[in-house]
Structure 1
Amino acid sequence: MSVKSDRANASGTVHRAFPVQLEVRAKAGVPQVSTIEGYASVTEAPFEMWDWLGPYSEVVRTGAFGKTLAENPQVQLLLNHGGLAMAYTKAGTLRLSEDSTGLHMEADVSMKRTDVGDMLAALEDGSVDEMSFAFRVTRQQWSPDYDQRDILEIDLHRGDVSVVNFGANPATSVAPAMRAADFDRLGDDDARALMERLQLRFAPSVVESEPPAGHPLSLYLAQAAALDL
């Protein structure tokens, strides 16, 4: 399957967007309230991602949501990851669970709000057909050749599930070059994975002697040493 993704921000929060089928129905016995039901994420379905080192495959593994859901995370339903919350786990109007398909969401939204009415109309006429969710990766695993990243565990707390127009296309939205200061925000596992990917990428051009001054690998080796990798 294909996926569209936004870049990670400085806090480590990332977005993943998927084509979805959302069901909209009136909430029984509650006037002016509709319920939206669907999936904010699909597990065990590889999709292509890009970062500043190139393409790789990513898979959200079954069980990745188990720990965070057990901790009752605060998550909101948003439109395009912004604006006022339309539903909220803390209020009981947004309900999240994981099943064999992925991250299931069910949200009760108020028809008294014009933004909700506009969103529901767009869903019902097919003008909008993607969902995205914001999360932080807490456990991951790369394949030996760094062609595949398995997301094993995530944190949804203070993240969101969003109905979106389009996610940013990873093939055309390449992350900017990493600055030295960005290394300080990397966790040990991410920093180590980055170093190994860089070494693998530059391996064909590396000779027995030290890389010459100014060679890209020299910079990353120096940064890694500063991080005590």
Structure 2
Amino acid sequence: MAERISGYAARFNSETTIAGEFREMLAPGCFARTLRDHPDVVMLLDHDSGRVVGRTTAGTLGLREDSTGLWFDLDPDPTTPSGQEAIGTVRRGDVRGCSFGFRVRSEEWQDGGNRLPLRIIKDVDLAEITLTGFPAYADTSASFRVASNNGAAERVKAKAEAAMKARGLPV
């Protein structure tokens, strides 16, 4: 059984207010180029580069852009302090959101009229995603689950139990 953390590090077409100065929204497709051309992205705890819990090039972090946003699947290492913290805080529900570190490559601004101006992010260089208790976008998500490794562990256990029964051993 593998402990996994997954969710949406970002959602498209969802507004948030940045520093009380402007509204911001992510356009669908804004991560596509960077995921294709620069696939080395890390997952951190609270944007702290000293607390890496996953990396795409190591195979411990999966990222994909879908119609909802930027989805992630993390395989945290329970033998490291940062991995233990990620697992513990997300499992308990203390951390339920995400953020991301990026550089904007393309954006569009719209006059807000009576509201704050709106920045629509069209393309980014994504450096990292992070688990955080204080996400800028409130509709991000992170949830804990135990994955069955496609039933491999259950099949091994069933095979061992069947062999024990065949030998007349208690199961």
Aligned to 1:36: 5
TM-score, length-scaled by structure 1? 0.53
Aligned with 1:35: secondary structure? strand
Aligned to 2:154: none
Aligned to 1:202: none
Aligned with 2:107: secondary structure? strand
- Judge conservation of contact 2:8–2:70 (CA < 8 Å) in 1: yes
Write the deviation string for residues 114-139 of structure 1: whole angstroms up to 9, x where unpaired.
33122211111111122111011000
Write the deviation string for residues 10-58 of structure 1: whole angstroms up to 9, x where unpaired.
xxxxxxxxxxxxxxxx42xxxxxx22111110111122223xxx63221
Q: Give unmatched runs, 5+ long, in structure 2.
A: 137-171
Query: Is 1:95 paired with 2:62?
Result: yes
Given candidates 129, 145, 154, the residue that maps to 1:161 is: 129
Residues 127 and 144 (structure 1 numbering): CA distance in 2 closer, same or farther, change over 3 Å?
closer
Write the deviation string for residues 142-200 of structure 1: whole angstroms up to 9, x where unpaired.
114571111001111xx1111113257xxxxxxxxxxxxxxxxxxxxxxxxxxxxxxxx
Aligned with 1:69: secondary structure? helix
> Matched residues in 2 for 1:108 and 1:119: separation?
10
The letter for the 2-side match of 1:160 is E
The letter for the 2-side match of 1:40 is A
Aligned to 1:80: 46
Residues 144 and 126 (structure 1 numbering): CA distance in 2 closer, same or farther, change over 3 Å?
closer
> Matched residues in 1 for 2:64 and 2:10: separation?
11
- RMSD between superposed Cα atoms in Å: 2.0
Q: Per-residue deviation at 1:74?
A: 1.5
The letter for the 1-side match of 2:129 is V
Given candidates 43, 53, 56, the residue that maps to 2:22 is: 56
> Matched residues in 2 for 1:144 and 1:71: separation?
32
> Matched residues in 2 for 1:112 and 1:85: separation?
13
- The count of residues paired between Structure 1 and Structure 2 equals 133
- Judge conservation of contact 2:76–2:87 (CA < 8 Å) in 1: no
Aligned to 2:122: 152
Aligned with 2:89: secondary structure? helix
Aligned with 1:73: secondary structure? coil
More strand by share: 2
5 Å-filtered alignment, 1:175-194, equals none
Aligned with 1:116: secondary structure? helix
Q: Per-residue deviation at 1:113?
A: 1.6
